[in-house]
Each structure stands twice: as structure tokens, then as C-alpha cells.
Chains A and B, each alone.
Chain A
Amino acid sequence: MASPALLAAVGEVGEGFIHHRDSANRSCQAIPSKLFCWDWAREHIGRYATPTVQHLELVVFSVVIGFIVAFALALLAHRRRWLRTPLLIGTGILFTIPSVAFFFLLEPLAGRGRDTAIAALSIYTLQIIYRNTMVGLANVPASVKDAARGMGLTDRQILWKVELPLATPEIVTGLQIATVSTVAIATLAVFAGGGGLGTLIKSDLSFKTNLILAGGIAFLMAIAFGLILFVVQRLLTPWRRVETT
């Protein structure tokens, strides 16, 4: 049998991963098991590294792809007004379909595996990023746009130099919500054979130490992304800090 680390690397965790435990830690697996078993955690924490990296990859790829598509759609809808409502409804429908269902709806088309999981997860982010970008652009005061036009800026310049910078807070907020949600939902990618922390969770649903570790890593990853994007937002909009102080 292949080693657990190798199996984890391809998105599968062998049965031996948790059930094969040394006798010193027997008490951890007794049913009902202890809430958290430090000894076991200390000894096996290394096995969480590969799935954590996989999870990170799932999230980063999904959010980057989702952002590119949603941002492009928002710019398109900004130019062509009549597209706004259809795009809002369309992304809304995609957002409503549960990701577990989406993994398997895509399966006949795209097969199983990481790419299918990334496709489904990025589709999930579209609505959040699209809607926030549109709200940000709509919040730009008309007087500012008028002033820009009065200075002789073209429509393209107004978009990139005036509207988008002023819409940055909303856009980054959208990105933040999308990223945090995706970290959490990516635990379900295991159902699509996409690897990640869900693989560890599903490998033993009754061993609480494992659930707390894997779930905790995912939770902390989401919080970390949230904080990073919060800082990014502050750095990208220095004028806001001046206003509030």
C-alpha cells in the first residue's frame, strides 16, 4: 500500500491514515473519543501539510479565475447597461446552486478531479464579485465623473483613473467575501475528488481531533485571507484613512 503522504498528494487518503494508530494513543480513538488529543495531534500534524497546500491552491486558483471573469463581466455591464440585469440574474442562479451539486453537474462534462472543483468554486464567486464591483461603480458620484470629463478625460480614462480607484473598497470587499467563503466551501471539493482539507475530514468523520485540526486549519486560513484582504483594501485606498481621522 502506498504511504499516506503519497495518497494525500493525489487527493486520496488511505484507510490507514487514522485507523492505524499506535497503542500509546489508543485512548484517543475510544468511542466516545476525547474532544482533542494533543499527543496524536503533535505526532501527526505533518500529515496536514500537503492537504493544506492543496486547499490553498484550490482557493487561489478559484478566486483568481472567478475574479477575472466577474470583473470582465462587470466592466462589460458597465459599458452596456442592458446586460446588467441578465448578468445579475445569471450569476445569481449559479450562486444559488449548491457547490456539492455543481461538482457532480460538471462531472459528465469535465470529469472528476481538481479542475472540476476549481471550475465549480470559481463559478460560485462570480455573483459576489460581480455584484460588489457594480455597486462600487454605481457609488461613484456623478459630479466626480463630470469633473473628469470636464478635464478632458476620455471614457476609458475615466473608468481606469477615476471610477475603478473610487470603487476599490467595494471591489476588494467582494473579493474578501468570495475568498473567505471559498476557503470554507473548498472543504467540499473532496466530493469532486479535488483534494484539500476535506479529504482529511472525510477520511474519519468520527475522530474529533482530526475534525478539529482539519476544520481549524480551514477556518484559520479563511480568517487569514479575510485579514490580508482587509489590509490590502486599506493600502489601496489611502485617502479613506485621511477622511476618517
Chain B
Amino acid sequence: MIGALLPQPVLASVKGAIEFIFTPQTSNVTGGKTVGGIDQVIELALKQLELTVLALALSLVIALPIGLYLGHRGSGELFATAIGNAGRAVPELALIAFMAAAIGVGVLNLMIALAVLGIPPILANTFVGIHQVDRSTVDAARGIGMTEFEILRKVELPLAIPTVMSGIRGATIAIVATATIAPLAGVLTLGDFIINKNVYGNNGVLAGAIMVALLALLLEFALSVIQRRITPDGLKLKLKTT
């Protein structure tokens, strides 16, 4: 049905790409290296996933406590929003290349470079999420004798979940997208199919693009499921009615 809508060459490229994903092929580079196939695709996808998860974890470890602390105290608004805004302005390609040139290639260095992209949205959203919790709710919690930590953990954080999670999702999208160009810094991810066109050919490029898109959508879907699971029921009801 969709096939009828697309011109023949497009259909042929898609077919070629799908073939590339499932069956190994001979590369057009001299030496006749075998490329593609489900094993290599899975290997590179797992590497990209690993890199994304590591960078996200590092971002969370740094950004969450700072965001929670500043949000709870209600100070540093300028700092949090400036970090959030400046983070969006960081050019991915220059960042990866610069970090690779300055601190070297490899998974650990790349993890740090990618965390530069992940920290701003998490920090800014956590701050905003905690900060915007109704002050009377916090006062009530204090009134019934909760400690400051309990207020943060049992009142403010649950109420801030939607905002915090949207920051984490934004960070994940940025990290997984940029992990695609990780081969430039010596870590082979799915982006290798895209960047090294001369090795993998046109089929490989399109196959890589398809797999990167699927991986990003899968991560986004997983996070939306997690968000649903950890959002308090009361908040879900409130979101539904407004």
C-alpha cells in the first residue's frame, strides 16, 4: 500500500537497507571485508545504548542533586536557567570533536562530552519542577513535622516528576542523537554505518539511519513508560482533568 506511493528507487533503497540489516554483505572496499548483518547491527546498537546510558547516568548524578538542592532552597534561578539555555546552544559536532582532541578518544572521554549535553536540561527542569511546587503544600508538610529531606523526597519530588522526567527525556534524546557521531571520537556506534559510507555503501547508510531512529524512539518509549509508572496516581488524575 505504501509501496504504491513511493517511487521505485526509494523502494529499492529501503529494500537494500533492510537486507543490509539482516544479512552480511561484501564491502566495496578492497579486501572484501564483510559488513552489515544482524550481528554487527546489534553489536553497534548495544554500544550506542551503553554509551547513552553511561552518559545519562553521569548527567543524572551531577545534575539531579544540584537541581534538587537549588529548587528546594529556591535560589540560583538565574544559574539554573542560564545553564539550561546555554546547554541548548552547544554545537554537538564541535563539542565531540573538541573533547576528543582535548581529552582524547574512547568511551569514558565520550561519556564526559555527552554529559555536557545531558546535564543542562536535567538541571534546569529539576530546578523548575521543584521550585514550582505550591509553597502552601510545602508549608503543610513542614507543619506536620516533616524534615527538609522528607519534604524534598516525599512531597516536592513526586509533584515535580512530570517536569523532571521531561528534562531527562530531553537529555536522552540529545545524548542518543549525538552518540551517533561517536565514531568520530573512536567509539563505534550505529553512526559508523552513516559516517563511513565508503565502507558500508548506500545500503549501510540508510540502514544506520533507520536503526538510529528506531533506537531513539525505543528509548523515548521506555522513558515514557517509566514516567507513567513513577508519576503519583493523584497527579495523573489532576493532569487528566486539566
- Give the interface of A toward B (CB within 8 A): 33, 35, 92-93, 95-105, 107-109, 177, 180-181, 183-185, 187-188, 190-191, 197-198, 201-202, 205-208, 211-212, 214-216, 218-219, 222-223, 226
Contact = CB atoms under 8 A, between A and B. Distances in A.
A98 B101 contact: no
29 contacts: A97-B212, A97-B213, A97-B217, A98-B176, A100-B180, A101-B194, A104-B205, A104-B206, A105-B210, A107-B206, A107-B209, A180-B88, A184-B92, A187-B91, A187-B92, A188-B93, A190-B93, A201-B94, A205-B100, A206-B100, A211-B94, A211-B101, A214-B94, A215-B91, A215-B93, A215-B94, A215-B97, A216-B94, A222-B88
B92 to A, nearest CB: 6
Tell me what chain A mostly uses at the interface: helix, strand, loop, or mixed.
helix
Interface in B71-97: 85-86, 88-95, 97
The 9 closest A-B pairs by CB, nearest first: A215-B94, A98-B177, A222-B89, A104-B209, A101-B212, A218-B91, A108-B13, A187-B93, A187-B91
B216 A98 contact: yes
Contacts of B220: 92, 96
Nearest to A226: B85
B162 interface: no
Given A100-B191, A104-B205, A201 B89 contact: no
A180 B85 contact: yes
Interface centre among B88, B94, B178 (most CB of A within 10 A): B94
B52 to A, nearest CB: 11
Contacts of B98: 208, 211-212, 215
B88 A188 contact: no
B216 A96 contact: yes
Contacts of B209: 100-105, 107
A109 B206 CA distance: 11
B67 interface: no
Interface string B181-210: 100100000010011000000000110111
A128 to B, nearest CB: 10
